[in-house]
A = this chain, B = another copy of it.
Amino acid sequence: MSDVRVHPERLAAVTEWDYEADVVVVGYGVAGAGAAIEAARAGADVLVLERTGGWGGAAALSGGFIYLGGGTALQQALGFDDTPENMERFLMAALGPGADEVKIRDYCQGSVEHFDWLVAQGVPFKEEFWGEPGWEPPADQGLMFSGGENAAPYNTLATPAPRGHLPQMADKHTGEKGGGFMLMKPLTDTAAALGIRAEYDVRLQRLIVDDSGRVTGVVAKRYGKPVYVRARRGVVLATGSFAYNQQMVEAYTPLLINRPAAAIEEHDGIGILVAQALGAQLAHMDAIEVAIFADPQLMARGILVNGRGQRYIPEDSYPSHIGQSTLIRQANEAFLIIDESALEEANNSVSSSAAMRSVPPTWVAESVEELESDIGFPAGVLQATVEVYNRHAKDGADPLLGKKTQWVKPIGAPLAAYDLRNRTGGFTLGGLRTDLDSRVVHVSGDPIPGLFAAGRCTSGISAGGYVSGASLGDGSFYGRRAGRTAAGS
C-alpha cells in the first residue's frame, strides 16, 4: 500500500490531456460495459480504460449467472410465475439484515426490462431449466434456482422462483466460451459497434477535481508513465471488489484473509480508495460471498455438522448460504456425514461440480459411534445428532431445519464423513454507497459531482447475504444507470 497515492489531483495542475471523452469508464467488466453502452446511446463520446490487456474483467471468467426475475421472458417461457413484489420479498429476506429496501425494490421493478435489454444486446439464453442441486447447471441450461429460493426458510417467505439466468455457453463452463464470456462478448461487441473507444493496460491512479470539487478526469498509469484523461461529463468507476487488497481485507473482511475465490487479482480496491479520497461514503464493508468447495448433490443427501457435531443449515440450501454459514457462524468447520447408499446415489447424479466428488471420503465407518470417534468428537455428540435426525427422517421430515422431504432419509450404515474444515473462499461485496442513479454519495449525503460507480466497487443489493448472479446482476443494471446519468450530467 505504501506506493498508493490516491490523493485527488487538482484540475489546475494538469497541463496536457492524453485522452478526452464525455464519459470515462474505468474498468471493462460487466458494469463498465453496461455503463459504456448506455452512455454512448445517450449521445456521449465514451472512453473505457482497462488495466489489463483486454475486456472482460471478473465477469468474463465467471460462471455467468445474472440474478433476474419478476417475470422475465425466460421465466415465463419455462412456466415459472414470479412478480417484482415476490422477488423483492425473497431478496429482502435473503440479502439482509440492513439491505437497502429502496435499491432492492428498484432492482426488482427493473429486472424484466433488464433481461430484455441483455437479450437485445445479443446475450443468448437457452430456454431450458435445471432443477437439481448444484453450483451451476451441468451444461448450457439457461435458468436455475441460484439463491436458495426453494430451500428453507425462504420457501416459506416467498413463492420460490428460479432467477439465476445463465448465458448459453458455446463450449465449457468458465473461461473462454463459458457463461461469463458469453455475457461479455455480445456486450463488448455492441460497445465496439457504437464506436466506444477502449484503451488497455491503463491503471487508475487518482481522480482529477476542479475547484468546485467536481470530478473532471482521471490520472492513470500505462507502462509506468502517467496518463491524463479528461472526462467532460463524468467518470464511472467499475473497478471491481477489494478481495485482493490485503490491508482492506484485514480491515473489513478478516474472515477472507488468504482465502479469496471467484475474484481476480486486479480487484485491489483502487476504485473505492480514489472515491474515499473525495469523501465518498461506504456501506456493508464486511459483506462477503462465500463458496464451500463441495458438491451440492452430495451435501443434499447427507447431513452437515459443525465442529461440535451439530446440524446448522438445511443441506439442500443454496451452496453459498452453506459457505457463508460455515465460515461466518461455524468457525469455518463442517463435516458432511453420508451413508453408503446416499453416497452412491449422489455419485450417480449429474452435477457441474462432479469433480469435487473425486476425492474419497475422509473417514468411513461401520457405525455412527465409530465415525464419531474417528473424527474426534466427544462421545455421544454425533450419535445424538444422527438419532434426532433419523427419528424424524423415517417420516420424511426435518422439523429442525426444514430440508425438503425429497432429500430426507434416515442415515444408515456403513457411512462416511468428508472433512470440510477450511474449505471455503469468497469475495467482498461491500464498497461505495451509490444512489439509484449510480451517483457516488459523499458522507454529507450529497452526490459527488461528476462521479459514478457500479459493480463490486459499490455496495449493491447485498447487505451481507448473497444469491448467485447478484454481482453480474446489479453490476450490469446499475452500470447502465451510471452510463445514462453520466451522459446526461
Contacts and interface: CB of A to CB of B under 8 A. Distances in A.
A252 interface: yes
Nearest to A400: B378
Given A98-B254, A388-B384, A443 B379 contact: no
Interface in A237-262: 250-252, 254-255, 257
B277 A276 contact: no
A406 interface: no
B312 A443 contact: no
A194 interface: no
Nearest to A384: B384
B97 A255 contact: yes
Interface in A181-228: 213
A279 B282 contact: no
SS class, residues of chain A in contact with chain B: loop
A392 to B, nearest CB: 7
B391 A387 contact: no
Interface string A434-470: 0000000011110000000000000100011000000
A480 B330 CA distance: 39
A96 B282 CA distance: 22
A6 interface: yes
18 contacts: A4-B445, A5-B444, A97-B254, A97-B255, A98-B250, A98-B251, A252-B283, A273-B443, A273-B444, A276-B279, A277-B279, A277-B443, A378-B388, A378-B392, A378-B400, A379-B392, A381-B388, A384-B388
A442 to B, nearest CB: 7
Contacts of A400: 308, 378, 381
Given A251-B282, A285-B285, A98 B6 contact: no
Contacts of A6: 279, 443-444
A109 interface: no
Interface string A85-125: 00000000000111000000000000000000000000000
A438 B98 CA distance: 31
A433 interface: yes
A170 interface: no
Given A98-B257, A277-B443, 9 more contacts: A6-B443, A97-B254, A252-B283, A282-B285, A286-B286, A308-B310, A328-B328, A380-B387, A380-B391
Interface residues of A, number: 55
Contacts of A464: 254
Contacts of A276: 276, 279, 281, 443
A251 B433 CA distance: 9
Contact of A286 (B285, B311, B329, B443): B285
A360 interface: no
Contacts of A385: 384
Nearest to A277: B279
Nearest to A386: B384
B384 A7 contact: no
Interface string A1-28: 1101111000000000000000000000
Nearest to A283: B251
A401 interface: yes
A32 to B, nearest CB: 22
A278 interface: yes
Nearest to A5: B444
| Most B Cβ at <10 Å: residue of A7, A273, A286, A391 | A286
A399 interface: yes
A249 to B, nearest CB: 8
A284 interface: yes
A252 B285 contact: yes
Nearest to A1: B445
